[in-house]
Homo-oligomer: A and B are copies of this chain.
Amino acid sequence: MPDSGRKSHRDYPWTGCGSDKDLAGCRFSLYPLDNRYAKIVLGALAKVDVSKIFSQTDALSTVYRGRLGQVFDCLSALFVHSYRENLHVCLEAQAMLGCPGDDDTDQPPPADDLIVNRKGLLGQDFLVKAKLALYPLGLADYLPIIAEAFDLAKNADLKPKIIHYATMIEGPVLKVFDYLQDVSAMAQGKVSHHALHFTVSVNSPTGK
C-alpha cells in the first residue's frame, strides 16, 4: 500500500509523547510452571535491584522503564533469580522504544549509567532456549532490520533458526539477554519506534 506522510503523535490526542524521550521499556510476565509460582515470581522480583528504573506490576504483567541497559540488567537478573534446578520457567517479554502512543508518566529516577545487578549474576551460565520477533514500525523497508537481528544472533553463536513468525536461538542465559539488548539497540539506531517480543525458556521437558 502507499505510505502516507508520517504523522506526529500530536495528531492523535489519545497518544502521549513517549517517542520524544529516549526511554526504553519492557513489559513482561514470568511463568514458573510449578504450584509455587507466586512465591517464585514475587521472590525473584524482590531480588532485583530496581533502583535505576521505574517498576510497576499489575494483574497480568510487570513493566520496567528506564535506560535500555538498565532495563535489560533488571530483566536478566529477574530471570536468573527465578532459576531452580529442574524447574521449567519461561519469561514472556515485550521490549519497546520510541512508541508515539506512549506517555511520559512513570519515569525512572534521575539517570546515571550504573549497571547494578549484573555483578551478582556472573557465573550464572545455565543454557536457555529463546525465540524473538522484532517489529520496526513506521517505515516501509523494515525487512533489512529484521535480517540484521538474525545476523547478530549468528555472530553471537546463538544458533539462530528461522521458525514461522520468529527466530529461535539458544545459548548461555546472560549471552542471550545481552544479544536481545543488542537487537533493541541496533533497531533504535535505525527506526524511531520498534517492539521486540521474546520468550526465554529454561528446563523445558521438551528437548526438541
Instruction: Determine whether the beta carbon of A6 is less than 8 Å from that of B3.
Output: yes
Cα(A136)–Cα(B138), bound, Å = 8
Cα(A29)–Cα(B197), bound, Å = 13
Cα(A199)–Cα(B199), bound, Å = 13
Name the residue of chain B whose CB is nearest to the CB of A93.
Answer: B92
Knowing A35-B35, A165-B94, A199-B92, say if A58 contacts B206 (CB, 8 Å). Answer: yes
Chain B CB within 8 A of A207 CB:
yes
Contact of A139 among B1, B35, B204 (CB under 8 A): B1
Chain B CB within 8 A of A68 CB:
no
Task: Count identical subunits in the complex.
Answer: 2
Instruction: Determine whether the beta carbon of A34 is less than 8 Å from that of B31.
Output: no
Pick the interface stretch among A7-15, A115-123, A178-186. A7-15
Instruction: Determine whether the beta carbon of A3 is less than 8 Å from that of B141.
Output: yes
Chain B CB within 8 A of A72 CB:
no
Instruction: Determine whether the beta carbon of A197 is less than 8 Å from that of B197.
Output: yes
Which chain B residues border A37 with CB–CB below 8 Å? 33, 88
Cα(A31)–Cα(B137), bound, Å = 29
Which chain B residues border A205 with CB–CB below 8 Å? 38
Contact of A14 among B3, B135, B142, B147 (CB under 8 A): B147
Which one of A33, A163, A192, A199 has the highest number of Cβ atoms from chain B below 10 Å of its Cβ? Answer: A33
Which chain B residues border A4 with CB–CB below 8 Å? 139-141
New A-B contacts (13) at CB < 8 Å, excluding given A1-B139, A3-B140, A14-B147: A1-B190, A6-B140, A7-B143, A25-B165, A32-B33, A35-B35, A59-B201, A60-B199, A99-B165, A101-B143, A101-B146, A102-B165, A137-B142
